[in-house]
Amino acid sequence: MTTDATITNIDHLLDEVLKLSVPLHASIADFDEPGARYELAGVPGVALFERDHADVISHVSSSPSPALMEAIDDLRRRHLAAANVAEGVDNSHLPSLLMMCMFLVEPGSKGARHLRDIAVRPAVIAALDEEAGKHDPDLEPHDAALRAWTPLLAGHAPEAGVHPAILELRFAANRYTRYVP
């Protein structure tokens, strides 16, 4: 049963996702494609990777909650409008960007609580090919990376089959020490 409080909470989470995703659109704008329409073709996933001081990589993975996934088409539409993307343009990497942002804002996600400390670091976002997405990220000690995999079907070219759109948001540790007398 959906209540007004649940709807309000979901609306608030969607607004928070948009606050993060819209400013990041420039990082995926090269994938804006007039006349394209991408459809989810499976369950997306998000993973947080970290390398600790002992050079060990660990990760936590999850999928967004069903409540947020139900709103993904509306969220995509709202994101494209807020990012001033022309009507009739879709972006193959937008679902992955939205998945990462959902992971960051969803209160119950394992990574969200821990990521608040990491997300204040400088970050770089990059699209990965399918082969690179199969391997752990190459991290330096104390670095972290948030990676989203989204299986997509190009509705405008179904003969292409399903392919993953993979984005990685990498947070570098501060490598500069400050000397304070």
Closest CA to 50 of 169, 134, 175, 167: 169
Return phi, psi of residue 35, to 5°: 80, -5
What pLDDT does residue 2 have? 41
Domain for residue 179, yes or no? no
Q: What is the CA radius of gyration of the chain?
A: 17
Q: What residue type is assigned to position 3 of the chain?
A: T
Please give the residue range of the domain that contains residue 105: 4-171
Beta bridge partners of 167: 127, 148
What pLDDT does residue 58 have? 87
Give residues with Cβ within 8 angstroms of 78, minimum separation 6.
14, 18
Domain for residue 177, yes or no? no
Domain for residue 74, yes or no? yes
**122/124 Cα distance (integer angstroms):** 7
Query: What is the average per-residue pLDDT within 153-180?
Result: 82
Question: pLDDT tens for residues 20-75?
Answer: 999 999 999 999 999 999 999 988 999 989 888 888 888 888 887 777 788 888 99
- pTM for the full predicted model: 0.84
Domain for residue 25, yes or no? yes
Total number of domains in the chain? 1
Domain for residue 55, yes or no? yes
